[in-house]
Structures are given as structure tokens and as C-alpha cells.
Structure 1
Amino acid sequence: MSCVHYKFSSKLDYNTVTFDGLHITLAELKRQIMGRERLKATDCDLQITNAQTREEYTDEEVHIPKHSSVIVRRTPIGGVKPAGRTFIVDRSDMAAGSSRPTDSSPSVSLAQLSKTANLAEANASEDDKIRAMMSQSNSEYDPIQ
């Protein structure tokens, strides 16, 4: 009896899938892992990576040799989508020179901070320093210039 050792990337211990022969196809390995872990094929797909070489198996007909170790990750149906990050900057605070209402009153106003050369040593909150830095970086592109 041949076997392939698998573990989910979030777990420490390996489990084993047994089969007859010298190798198992990726599709059959996924099917057996989903059965053992009680996962539904309609909920997720599995990404299988060789634990030693970090090679990701993508072709469902590829043969995985017996006694291999693989890392398994659950992925949404249709593959992994790139993790996009969205940053929202509230320009009204920067233009008005006021701080957020939740901040305690800063000892230096945003207008004064925008003219400060060394923001690291300025006596202001970190959020106000960031707003001043953003204002300074955009000042060269101001249409008034």
C-alpha cells in the first residue's frame, strides 16, 4: 500500500492518504483529502504544493509519487484572487487644516505642520504628521504653483 502525506498550511501534523500503485493523480488526491476532511467540492478547491520543492501542482492529471509530502491550502472556487488593498484619504481634513473630532487637540496645527521640515520631531499626533506629510508631498502638484 502506497501513501502521500499531507498537511494543511495552518496545521502542524501530517495526515496520510493511502492508495494502490506507484503514484496518484492530483484530482484523486484532492478527492480523497476532501473526503477525509469532510470538505465539499462546491465550497472550496484545494491548492496542493510539494512540501520539499514548493512546486505547486496545477494539472489535475499530474502524477504525485508515493511517499511524497504535500502542503494543502483551501482556496475559493475559481482560484485565489490577488489581495488588493484600498486606502482612503480624507482630503477635507487636509484642506481645512483641522484634525478629526476624535483626536485630542494637537499642539501644532496642520497648516503649521505642513510647513515643518522635520516632521519626525514635531510635537503632534502621528495621524497629524501623516496628514502633513501627504500635504507636503502633493504641494508641488498644486495648480497654483
Structure 2
Amino acid sequence: LTQSPSLAETNVPEEEKIKVMMMQSCSYYDPSHYLKVPLGPLPPSHTCFKSGQRGHCKKKCPNTGNKTMEGVPRIKRSSGIPMSFMMEVKDPNAEGTMITPKGKYAIPIINVEAYARKRKEKPPVLQEEPNSSSSSSSSSSPAPVPDELFPLICREIMTEAAVIPCCGRSHCDDCVRTALLDSEGHTSPTHHQRGVPAGSLNANQLPGQV
């Protein structure tokens, strides 16, 4: 009956038709159709976060036993930025470098133009200021940025603050979402609790309360 092309033309009770209809409507979401964990070799674009080399994961890194070697810093992904707005680079340590879906390093073109501009030097007259003006300028200098606005993942000023429910700490939405998706079992990057889905993040409307 489940293979029948039209339930309306079958000669069965209405209750049976309803049961078959409900089975057919949710058969696509049966656990047997879930995406299995890939068992084959990793794609060539996969980058190890410990050595920075491609072709192997962190568990099978040849430098696993080397305690003196520090892991490479996490590089933000270029998600949402068209490739026509990106310029490929070779140096992953270049300022503003992102990683593309193909595993290559690139910098947004608008950032390249900004980094290429040299800061204008002050004229010699403005370099030496009198003591009175220096004291007034020091009093009017902006307050330092609080440490709470520097999350533990990227150590940069927080953007689009998101609260992780396991410990209540705030991080950059892109950083904490990437850390949860790249970890095994959706492990919290700060509280190390497993089973924290990326969809459970809440936007922090008050970034000062982190």
C-alpha cells in the first residue's frame, strides 16, 4: 500500500489511508537517511589547526607529540563574501587574511587598499606640543576598552556578541559558531561541555554585560 501511486484509488478503509499518508510524509526524515560520518580520506583543502598543513586532521597530525609546537591561530572564514571581492594571498599571517571554502587564503580587496595606505606623519610643528596642551590632551583621551569586550577565542574586540548557554559567556557570533561546528560533539570552546548546538546561541543585546 505504501508503494501505491494514488491512495485515493485504493479500495482500503479511510483509517488505513491516513496511516499510510502519515508514514509517507515523514519517511524522508527517517534516521536511516541521516548523513553518515565520512570514512574516506579528507579533501586536499582540509587544513590541520595544529600544524597549518593540509591533507590531514588534528588527530592524525605528525606533530601531535611535539609539545613545543603551538597551534596555528584560527583564521576566519570568508563566508558570505563573493570571490570577486577577494584577493588570493600566499602568506596566512598577512593582516586580515581569511580562508575560502576551497582552503585558500584571501583578503577582501577593500581591506587590501586600506592596509596599503601609509599613515600620514604629523608635521614637525604638531609633534612637539607644550606641556599644558599635553596635560589637557591626556585628560581628554578616550577611555581604554574593557577586557570583557575581548573574547577568549579571537582576543579581538567583540563583534555581533552571542551568549553561549553552557557558561553564559559572550563571544563573537562567527568565532563561537565556527568553534562549535569544527569541534567534535559540539564542544564549548571555554567551558569544554559537549553537546552544545550552534543553534542554541543567543544574541547579546548588551555587550557590556559579558
Q: TM-score normalised by the shorter chain: which range applies?
A: under 0.3
Tell me the TM-score normalised to structure 2 length: 0.21
Higher relative strand content: 1
